[in-house]
Structure 1
Amino acid sequence: MDTAKEKCVIIVDEDAPAGIAANTAAILGITLGVRMPDIVGEDNVDQEGNTHLGITRFPIPVLRTDAETLANIREKLYLPDYTDLTVVDFSEQAQKSRDYADYTEQLSASNGKDLNYLGVAVCGNKKIVNKLTGKLPLLR
């Protein structure tokens, strides 16, 4: 990933409780790491010989917005202008599922507009990501 031309952000529902927001960001980050393994750097060793597993090679800001804006952003990401982006979403339906099979079943029975998004991760062309998310504040 060329960090001069590409960018990743995570957007979470600003009204989600802190634990849910943190869990959402963690889940989105794990999926990004699997989908885009080149964003994770090599393992490192400290002076005492302890190994530290590789972390992301660049910052991934965690942004916040209201649920309606989050849903609108997710809906936009289905449009042809955004097909080159890597997009991961996480919904209340996923968060409340007992296991992955339950989530899969709930998702297949849901209309996409019925999903209540807790977060979305977006990676790709920096200009497009900034155009979509540039006005959103950081989660603090």
Structure 2
Amino acid sequence: MTGQTESKCAIVVSGELPTGLAVNAASVLSLTMGHRIEGLVGVDVKDADGLTHPGIIHTPLPILVAPRERVDVIVQAAAAQERMFFASFSSLAQACRTYEEYIDKMAATPTAGLASVGVGLYGPRKQVNKLVGSLPLLR
């Protein structure tokens, strides 16, 4: 990956999702990104009283919105780019109640049958901007 100042993060969720499901999708994707992208979360910090606070992401993470079909297009474009980390979140995943159910359903579903309702991106700033630069923030 590139250095933090040259890189950009973004999450895009489907505009067709109700607010609760959009927040769920963004939360799942942000957890995945924080776990998989080394150095994205900063070191723990202490406040003036000496209380330690866990590190948080040290780069902006906009939550953007797009039509569901556009989310699929962004996933496909991100998958084709080198140096781009992406994590997609499908309606299939969002409907599962357990991880075991998710594993089973994913094993029976071809890639073309997965409808993405969200995607997390991390990569070179120019590449991320090209994919999501014109999208509005989730409100």
Return the TM-score normalized by structure 1.
0.91
Structure 1 moving runs of 4+ over 4 Å: none
SS, match of residue 4 in structure 1:
helix
Match of 1:42 in 2: 43
Deviation larger for 117-126 or 106-115: 106-115
Q: What CA RMSD, in Å, does the superposition of the two structures yield over aligned residues?
A: 1.3
Shift of 1:74: 1.2
Q: Report the counterpart of residue 74 of structure 2 in structure 1.
A: 73
SS in 2 for 1:123: strand
State the match for 1:110 in structure 2: 109
Asked if residue 101 in structure 1 is aligned to residue 100 in structure 2, the reply is: yes
Q: C-alpha offsets along residues 43-64 of structure 1, whole Å, 9 cap, x if unaligned?
A: 1121233221100011111111
Structure 1 segments unaligned to the other structure (5+ residues)? none
Distance in 2 between residues matched to 1:41 and 1:56, nearest whole Å: 6
Q: Which residue is 2:126 aligned to?
A: 127
- Residue 76 of structure 2 aligns with an amino acid whose one-letter code is E
Residue of structure 2 in register with 1:26 after alignment: 27
Please state how far the C-alpha of 1:100 moved relative to its aligned partner: 1.2
User: How many residue pairs are counted as aligned between the two chains?
Assistant: 138
3-state SS, counterpart of residue 98 of structure 1: coil
Kindly provide the amino acid, as one letter, of the partner of residue 26 in structure 2: A
Encode CA deviations 1:16-51: one digit per residue, 9 max, x unaligned.
111111111111111111111301111112123322
SS of the equivalent of 2:102 reads: helix
The one-character-per-residue Cα deviations of 1:48-95 (angstroms, maximum 9, x if unpaired) are 33221100011111111001111111122232xx13211111111111
TM-score (norm 2): 0.92
The amino acid that maps onto 1:97 is: C
> Aligned residue for 2:3?
2
